[in-house]
Structure 1
Amino acid sequence: MGMSVTIATAGEDDAEQILKLQYLCYQGEAELYGDYSIAPLTQPLAALRAELADGCALVARLGDEVVGSVRASVDASGVAVLAALIVHPRMRRHGLGGRLLAALEERLAADHAARRFRVSVGRRSEVALRLCAGRGYAPLAGASAAQITLEKPAPLPACATTA
């Protein structure tokens, strides 16, 4: 009998597995851009632990193994800045990235008062761009040569009404 992937809040105990998975997942991105000094490949464990403590982070688990993760922080104006959506290469193309992103958006809107979601994606990162577009993200003006910033509004709470 197979196991199901579960999504839960990431804890400090997940930091090492997340960092190893991040290193694995960003190899392709580094190759795509010819830059192996990108932040996800050089991030120290202490910095990741600080991110997990200060923001909102989720993990996808298959049994005890972390096979996906996503993190974000919400600024004072209610903008949630998403970072490091990663899925183990063997788990890709099964909707796990979309599930993680949806769960994070829901959590940020409900528990962190996020009013908008924002993510920056490399111009050559076609899979990430398709995922974001499919979830309703639209490019903001003023993109750089290397990155595109995408944004979308958080949904209104279920009890909200329009006038």
Structure 2
Amino acid sequence: MGMSVIISAATTEDAEQILKLQYLCFQSEAELYGNYRIDPLVQTLESVRDELTANLVFVARLGDEVVGAVRGSIDPDGIGEIAKLCVHPRLQGHGLGARLLRAAESALADEQSATRFRLHTGHRSETNLRLYRRAGYAPVGNTTGQDGVRLILLEKDAAARAYVASA
């Protein structure tokens, strides 16, 4: 009998697994941009622990293994910031990223009273952009990350949490 993937709040004990998963997942992004110094690949274990304390962090678990993660925080203007969504490569394409995104959105709206959601992804990251478009996000601008990667900023209204069926 197979196991189900469970989405739950992360604990401080998850920090090392989250960092290892993040390192694995963002290799393809680094290759896409020819930049192996992108922020998720140079993050320290201590800063992941800090995020677990300061932010909403959700993980997807397959048994005891963390196979997905996402972070959420709220800014002073009530905008829910969603970051570092990642799913283990062997489980990508099965809706797990969308489930993690919904968990972050729900918590930010319900627990933190977010009025809008904001996230970003690299301009060449078509798979990510497709996921976010399906989730109702629209581009609102561009910026360049500290790592030099051009990012597309996307937002949606928190009241529009329902997923759009079309890509």
TM-score normalised by structure 1 residue count: 0.93
Mapped partners of 2:127, 2:15: distance in 1: 25
Backbone CA RMSD of aligned residues: 1.3
Q: Residue 106 of structure 2 aligns to a residue in which SS?
A: helix
Matches within 5 A, 1:51-70: 51-70=51-70
Mapped partners of 1:20, 1:40: distance in 2: 10
Superposition deviation, residue 129 in structure 1: 0.3
Q: Structure 2: any 5+ residue segments left out of the alignment?
A: 145-149, 162-167
Q: Residue 159 of structure 2 aligns to a residue in which SS?
A: coil
Q: Residue 155 of structure 1 aligns to a residue in which SS?
A: helix
Mapped partners of 1:17, 1:117: distance in 2: 26
Partner residue in 2 for 1:155? 159
Runs of 4+ in 1 over 4 A off after TM superposition: none
- One-letter amino acid matched to 1:152: K
Partner residue in 2 for 1:112? 112
For the pair shown, the structure with the greater C-alpha radius of gyration is: 1
Mapped partners of 1:122, 1:156: distance in 2: 23
Partner residue in 2 for 1:132? 132
Superposition deviation, residue 144 in structure 1: 3.6
- One-letter amino acid matched to 1:40: P
- One-letter amino acid matched to 1:61: R
Mapped partners of 2:73, 2:102: distance in 1: 15
- One-letter amino acid matched to 1:34: G
Count of residues in correspondence between the two structures:
156
- One-letter amino acid matched to 2:75: D
Mapped partners of 1:3, 1:110: distance in 2: 29
